[in-house]
Structures are given as C-alpha cells and as structure tokens.
Structure 1
Amino acid sequence: LKLLTLNSKDVVYNFEGGLSYYFADFEQAKSVPLFESALENSKEDTIPELCYYLARAYHINGDFEKSKEAFTHFKPFIKTSTKSGQELMKQSDYYININDNGKKQLANKNENTIIKNLGTSINSTYGEYAPVMKKNEQVLLFTSRRENGTSKKVDTDLLPYEDIYVAKQVNDNWQLITDKVELEKYIPKDLNTKKHDAGVIYSSDGNTLYTYKNDLIWKSILENGKWSNLVELDKNINSSQYNIPSVNLSKDGNTIYFTTTRKDGFGGKDIYKSSKNEEGKWNVAENLGDKINTKFDEDAPFISDDGKTIYFSSKGHDGIGGYDIYKSELTDNGWGKAENMGIPINSALDDIYLIVDEKEKNGFFASNRDGGIGGIDIYSLCINCPTKIINTINGLLVDNIETPIDGTLTTQLLSSNNPAETTQSKAGKFSFVTATTGKHQITVEAQNFEKQTTTIELPNKTSETDLTIKLNQFEKNENKFQVLTISSKALNITQTDTIKLEKLIVINNLHPDSSSIQTNANNTPITYQEFYNYNSTTINTNNLSYTKLINQALTNSKNGEKIVIEIESSASRVPTLTYKTNINLSSVRGDEAKKIIIQSLIDKGISEEKIIVNSINSIVSGPTYSSDSYNIEKYKKSQYVKITLK
C-alpha cells in the first residue's frame, strides 16, 4: 500500500493493494476503490483476474448490481476447456444468481429492524461468535479466539484456540466478567482448556449448560449452586467421526436440534433432531428434510419456545452470500419453505448463530459483514421495532451567482398544528432536524430579498438531505420578479417559485455556466471557477476566463484599489490515496490556487502588498461515494476551485 503513495495510478500496485484488503479478515470493502483504480488505469494488458476480484469485492460491499455486471464482464475470459475453468464458470453463475437475490432483498429491506454492533466491550479484532443468552439475568456467553486466552499456543491456522467468555449487561452496557467467583455462577470452574472450547446453549431453566469441545457436545448441570463436571452426550448425538458445532434444545428439553455431516444428508452440514425416550436417552437422530437442508451447508439451529419456528443459517436456498439466516414455520406436513430473513439481518457475508427471546423480537447473532471490528462480530437485533424518524436537512442559501446569503428559514409541516421551526443561515449554510415527514412549508427571509415561501416533501424514513435554495431577482418586459429555486440530489428535485415585485432590490443579469466569469451589474465581484479531474490541483492560467479575472484585477489596481481575493476549494467524496483524506486534497487545491493567483498578479506588475487573500474555504462536497470512481461526470462538479475578486 505504501507503493501507491509513489504512483497512485500503477495498475499492479492498485491490484496488489486491493488483494491485501480483499483477503483480510475485515475491512474487505476497502479493496473496491483500489480494484477500480487498477481497472481504470489498465489498457491493453488488463489483468483478467481483476474483473473477478472486483466483482467479488462489489458483492462484499453489498453492491449487487455492479457485482453482477462485473461477473458478466469476467465470464468471457474464463477458459471452459479446463476443469478449473468450468468450476470458475459455475462459481460466476452462482454469484450472478445470489446478486439477483441480493437486489430483491435490498428492495424489500426492513427499515424497522435495528442491528447494532455490541462494540469493543464484547468484540475484538480476532472474532467473536456463538452468543448464548442466560434468560432473565442479562448474561451473555460467547466464544472468541482472541489473544491472552487459556492457551498460549495457536492452532494450525495461526489463530488462538477458542475460549468461552461471559459478559453482563449493566445500564445498557456490556461488561466482561473477570472475577472467578462471579464467573462460576454461569459456567463450570476451569471450563476453558488449552484446546477449543465453545458455549452452545443453556436449557430453558438455565440449570443445564451445553458446550462444545473435542468435536463433541457436553453438558454440565447446576446443582446446589455449583456446576457439575462436563458429561459427554450419548452416541446418537455425538460420534467421533462427525463434527457437531451447533446444538439447540426445545423448551421442555426433550428434543435436541444439532448440526452434523452424515452420509444420509443432502450434502455438507445438515440439521438433525433427536427426541428423548422414556429412559431419558436420545433416540436415533432424523434429518429435518429438504425444506431445511440443501446440498450446501446448514448450521446454527434455534427453536422458538413454542416449537413452531426454527431459525437457522444456510449457504443454500435463496441466499445473498455466505451464510444467511432463515426461518421456517412448522405445519401439519412438517417444516415449511425456508424464508430468508432479509436485509439488514443478512448481508453479503456470513450471518449466523441467531438467538431470540421468547417473543422472537430481540436477540443476537454473529456476522463478518463490512464495518465490523474484527473478522466476525456479535450484533444485537430488534425485529420490527418502532423507530423514531429523524430527518436532517443540511442546506445552502445563495444568490444567483452562488454567493452565500445570511438569512432566516422557517419550516413547518403542512396540515399540522406543530410549531414552526426557525434556523439561521451563516455564510449561507443552515441545518435543521425534524421528526416530521411529508409536505413541509419553507419560508425564506434575507436582506435585499422579498420574503418567499415554497414547499418540499420529506421522506417517511430517517434520512439526511442536502438542500440548495437560490434567490434571484430580474426584470423582464418592464415587470420585476423574484425566483426561488430549491434543489436537492437526495430528494431528486429541482423546483422554482416566482413572485412579482414592486421594485428590484438586487439585480443579477447573468446566468453563469459551470466554468465562467461571474459578475453583477457593477462588474464586482468576479468569480472564476475551474473543475478538476481526480487528484488534480493545477489551474489552467491560459483559460480565457482566468485571464479576464487577472485583467480586471489589474484595472482595479490602477484605480488605486487593493486586490481582495476569496478562494473556495472542494474535493469530491471519492477516496484519495495520494492525499490520504478528501479534506487534505481540498486544502491542497486551495493553497495551490492561492500561490497561482498571487504569482499571476505579481507577473502583471501588481505589488504583493496590494494583494489580500481574505479567506480560503476548503470543503468536501458532492454525492456520497458509491464505489463508482469510473463515473467521472457524477463527481466532477464537486471537484473545483472558485477564485472571487471582490
């Protein structure tokens, strides 16, 4: 990655840098801009694998449409005459299919399901998973392969061995329990060994704990306040040749659901169940059938308290990537069709180990989705929770030549008795927050302009909205008018409202284009604006409009005036490795513009003492980056410098 600071456009550097993120345990989505840059800068010698890894990276990032397009573009490169090529073709078709599933799930995203990472008090960079809830005590067991566990050695994958940890919720915050006396209330003494140990489940009464070690399921019973020694479950559940990572019990404790790989299965890991006989022994296990199990892996069963719903994870069915969490309802004819629980519970990566409370509303699960703390983290969820809608509006009030205006803005929900909310714009910028949705009336008051009102409609969901309000006065056919133009990319609107005036207060005759000299009737101020390509910082001093600005400054100087300059520089939100952050790039553009304009004025014979750079306002603006750096036109309007001669 350091090599990219030397040459940010080198195809190999970007490709290898992308791979370093792609194969990491977390932050894999950071590979996207690097792969995009490699593809953008490659010409005849495009690395064939680049399209494949970019497609996979788009998928990891949840950009299902772009992933599908990239896989479709990659398929012609595959040599199907070889066995590996045929397998790669199958894999590409598989990802195209799950990207189609992802698009459908994204379109039906449940905005009222709340997902929250439990944070660094529980999660680490090493990965945490398999949450186990001890009901009514706000105690959570989980498994982790973090450092400083019971064993100082590492497994063959060079990661520490699994240990079981216990946390307790105190005032809405999770805290690890480290006191040995306190720990022994919830787990047996010396439960963790020098090999793998994982928690599985408590019985419904909390008096039996099932754990996993040595590829087997064990149990410990709480008797007289102490946990018994671990006892291995019988051979109908455990078998030395099968790995059983997940177990769940019915509320009455008489039916056990578990995951295993067996010859009578549908392929990979399947979910089985076994019931206790009259002697308290487990009967021969039976496969849950093809409504639950597929030729791919199934894992992590969880049965509801009433026994009528089973939750589980699967790499099959209509998934969107990795393990997805499903549920199935019990009918008179057995388990019904598995239902994908959708986004945001599921992601493009692994989502597994779901547990829920008796109301099947709140729970926990593990996921290695993008944005986590480690390789896999534990998340809380609330299903179909009522959410308070918050609409945040960040706006800019300007005149016709886009000079910021100070003013007062009043907003009020129409058809409502809610009080109006008032905010002030400072240097043109304003912001207000409202919990209301629907059609709102906005009234604008500013010096030199008539009071004017317009309406906008805010979405029925939590959102952050950009808003630009432009005021303009002009005369036409001896009539005088004021036009308020309101635009928003987030709301996808551009609308105008016109009122007739008795007299003009402000005259703005010019309608500036995107790169031009801008001037009012008195020829001041004058603004030159130049748009940049990615990472560019140099101004074209041969531009005719730039030359006119310099000549006007020379005229002002000859009249004895000081030359007052204001600069606004902007960078888009497209990530920049060259300058590390977008605001750094914007600041460099502003500083470079200052140097160039001062030198241009000096070259015209203007004394440096007469030149005053009043301010440099460096900002980051434009649309949110959507992993589409190739879409140059989309971001170009937010990559600019404005030089204003006052």
Structure 2
Amino acid sequence: MKKVYNFLFLLMIPVLLTGQERLVKQGNEAYNTYSFKPAQDIYQWVLDKGYVSAEVLQKLGDTHYFNAEYAQAAEVYTRLFEEFPEATDPAYTFRYAQALKSAGDYEGAEQAMALFYSSTGRDDLSNGSLETDYMEEIQANSGRYTLQNFPYNTSYLEFAPSFYGDEGLLFSSDRDTGNLARYRHSWNSRDFMDLYKVSRDSTGDLPVEKLREVNTRWHESTSVLSADGQTLYFTRNNNKNGHVVTDEAGFVRLKIYRAQKIDSVWSEIEELPFNSDAYSVAHPALSPDGKTLFFASDMPGTYGFSDIFSISVNGDGSFGTPENLGPEVNTEARETFPFIDTEGFLYFASDGLPGIGGLDLFAVPLERLGENPKVLNLGTPVNSSMDDFTYIIDGESRKGYFSSNREGGQGGDDIYAFIENERLNFECVHEITGTVRDKVTQEILPGATVRVIDESNTEITSVLTDLEGKYSLTLNCNEGNFIRASRQGYLPSEVFLAPSEGTPKVVDLYLDPESLSAGFGSDLAKLLQLSTIYFDFDKYDIRPDAEVELQKVIAALEKYPSLKIKANSHTDSRGPDAYNLWLSQKRAEATVAYMISKGISADRLLAEGFGETQLLNDCDDGVRCPAEDHQKNRRSEFIIYE
C-alpha cells in the first residue's frame, strides 16, 4: 500500500506543477499588461503552494514595489537574493536597495546600492550613492516644517497638488465613484484619476469640484497653471479617439497636454508636440517667467528610469528641443515631479539620491546647474520612509503642499499641507586653486600667504603656497570674497570674486617686488616678459606696436624710481657697417627720447647703437635670408645698469 501511495504521489507532482505553471503563465500575462494587482494575487498563491522560481519572486516583488508596498517588496526581494543570486540583475538590485531603505534597513540598503553601482560599471558612488554621513546631512535639514491637515483627503488617492490662481488648488484623485466605477486601472485595481479644484484656505466645508472640461475616462493628474491663468498643462494617459494607445510592450504611456482658457472655459486641449507613443512625458512645471517647461520622462538620453528635462516655450506657443538637466540632478534611478518656485529653486522627487526611503524630496538652485551645485534633501517631516512627492510652495507665505503614502494617512496617497518655518541653506561652495608668482620674473613663490577676506574686511581663512607656489581653498560663493596674496619683500595683490560664481576657478596671483633685485646687465624686457621692440627697414621711428611695449618699460621705471636702464639698439646686416652703426644709434636715441617724452628723467636713461655686430641668427653679410629673419635683428633691448 505504501508503494502504491508513493507511486500515486509521484504521478500527482507533474500534474500539480503543470497547473501551477499555467497559473504563473496567467500571472505573467497580467504582469506584462501592467495589471499588477491580479498578477500579485496569482504569484502569491503559487508561492504559498510551494512553487518557487526566480521569475515568480522577481515579479511578485515588482508588483509590491510598483505599488509602493516596500515592506512586502523587501521581504520578497530578500528571498530572491538569498535563493537565486544569479538571477539578480541591476534593476532588481536597485529596487531591493530602495525597499530596504524604506523598511529602515539603511546598512543593507547601502550594501545593495554599492552592488548596484558596481554592477552598472560605476566605481565611484558620487551623485546617486548612499554616503556614510548622508543621514547626518538629512538630519541637519530636518525640523524646518510644520505639517498641517489637508481637509480633502479621503480613503481614496489624493496627490499632485498645484496652485490654481491666487486662492485655488488643483489635485488628482480617484474618489469619483468608488466601487461603482465603470473604468478601473488594473495596475493597482483602483479607479482612474481626475483633476479636482478646491479653495486653498477652506477648512473642508466647501465642495470639491471636478475640472470637467479637462477630465476624461482616463487618468488626469499633475498640472501647472501659467502665471496669467490662461494656460493649463496637465498629464493624461496616451489615448486617441476615446481609446488608450499602448507601446510595443503593451504599456499605456503618459503625455502632457495643454488647455487654453477661452470665455472662462478650458478648451482647445492639445497634446504637446514632443510627446511620444514610445515613452512617457509627464508631470509639467513652469519657470516663474513661463518661458521654460520642466517635465519628467524616460525618453532617449535618460540616465536612469526617469529624468527631469526642460524645454523652452516660445512666444508663439511653440517649443524648443528637450534638454536633460544632467547628472547634477538626474541619476540611474527615478527623478520626477518637478516644481519651480518663484525664486528659481527646483524641487523634485528622487529615489536615486541619498534619502530616507522610497521617493524623497530634494531642492537645488536652477541658476547653479552647471556649477556642480549641492542638491539638498528637504529632511523630515516632509520626507519619510515611504514615497514623498509632488511638492509645491508659495514663495511669499512659505505655505505649501506635498503628497505621501506614509503610514497614518487616510488613503493610499494623501496630501499634506505645511508651513516652512526655516529656509533651506543652499550653501554654495566652490574650489579655488592657483599659483602665486613674482610679477617681474614670473618665478613661483613658495610660502606665500593666500587669504580669503570677506566684504566686511574680515579674514575667513588662509593657506600657504606649496613648494610649487600652488594653493587650494574653498569659498562660500553666496558671498563676495577677496583673494589676497602676500609675501615678505613683495607688495600684496588681490582679486575680487563676486557672489554666485560657483564653478571651480583658477586664480593666479602676481606679486610686485618692493624693490627690483635683478642684477647689473639683466635684460629688463625678459624680466617683464615683454615682446621685442622692432624697427622697420632703414628707419628709426617708433612703431605703434613698439609703443605698447615701451609703455610697460615706462611703468617699471615709474614703479622703481632707482632703476636706470640703457637702450641697446641693433640693425640687420644689409647696408654698410658704418651706416648701420649710425642707424642703430639713432634707433637707441629715438627709444630714449620716447620715454623722456612720457616723463622719465633723462639721467636714468642711456642709449647705445651696436649696428650689425650682435645678430641673433645667421643672416650675415652675403647670406640670403627671408625678410622676417632680417626683422628679428632690427630691435632694441633694455639693459639694467643701476
């Protein structure tokens, strides 16, 4: 009997597995059409029945992750990594890290993120990494907000607040018909969302109104109103003629639409020309002047899962070319839901920058993009271990709103009102490097002191130049600063750096000696790095280009009153020797006469002509040379004799 039982049991195994495999196939069909909730139920059932595979764990984890059920996702991904480590590609490593972070396992999240960056070919963990001290920085930015109740939250989804005129507020919700909804989104088994408008200062006693001209049977969400109140941008599912449009994978993409207010009614609704059926373009935001539209997209050129882009809005309503905001903002993960305040600060949500968990809210000054600015986490209580996103703020009142699916809310996503009690400190730090040199000889000056002096003449910091005359320091570029160099035996020299110059800069400083220490017979032109003073053939008048260099010699004579020089002048080899000697003397005298005419005392100047006796090349008598080689010999030099 036992043998018969075992035989029957063995016969039942393939039948059972076949049934479970059929269910997994059904789950995959639901998953591939982004029906995550039905797929989740199927995967969990077969897992509970003992059927385990990497595919089931991967997709079950994803159904939780993409519905922001991070604790459940972390549990499933942990099992995936433990039982099928060979099946964990970078996408799952990233999701695993985010799920662990949301669950409060920061050490595990940091290890998973390190593995993610390593597997994607990045050795440094700069922009999108978890750093050992990132929680200290987040803590420093925390405690600046007072959260307030938003009276229009329900047990459904409410998110994506946006300012609607001076007193109004738009938001997105799936509250409309509850379980009687005719159209339901299979991603999370919830109703499709519409845009609603309320009074900003209402305590909940005023009715919530639909934005009926804009809403359809599909999703409408994230919106932004132009400053004049006449143009509304919003996000909607890709659809045509009342039917949704899918991409090659069967996914319904998002698009940005634009509506115009005509006779107090939203009409002329059109999709923007840079939308695509192949990728999503969503979550619009406008610059204060309305000339730039910001949005999130996974279009070609995206660094990660989604990036923030900008595009110019032309005066005729047309658009420029989308531009990625670059790696200072975007990471290999998700950057989304941009908002620009009236002061030009970009607020956005990211799960690739160091945060507390899920999507965190960040800010950066737009004007400093390209200068390697510090992107700051807004800290708690705005950020939590769950998803926090769609942040907006009024620049004058410092009141605003954001959305979150954190614990303690009424629905899956809720809107939270806040007051910002303390501004975020966007410290602008940039590196200054340079070399300190002798202005006359160009020699490097080791041991020179380089000081940072603020605009109230207070010394901020100082450093000494190294053996190569180099220095390096950092500045707060929110303020104007003087960079001042000094050294014994030299006059101090300084330059001024205006505020908001956040790019790394090279500032070389040149110090004038208190006295010229060049020895007898030194060529002053070489010490001052002057261009050679030349003369035309068979002439001794001072050319315009020579005047420029002579002014530098005059400046040195004025700076050092005890300095005396002799002008040595020369000719080329053409012409009789005696004539060339006379011509060179006339050139020397013309040079001295010019300096005397500019105020230099005659007793500090001598003149001597050397004819063709000191040629600089082989263009001697009887040698055929190009005109430019002869020119090199028709010159004046300035020799220090006292």
Greater fraction helix? 2
Compute the TM-score of the two structures, normalised by the length of structure 1: 0.43
Greater fraction strand? 1
Compute the TM-score of the two structures, normalised by the length of structure 2: 0.43
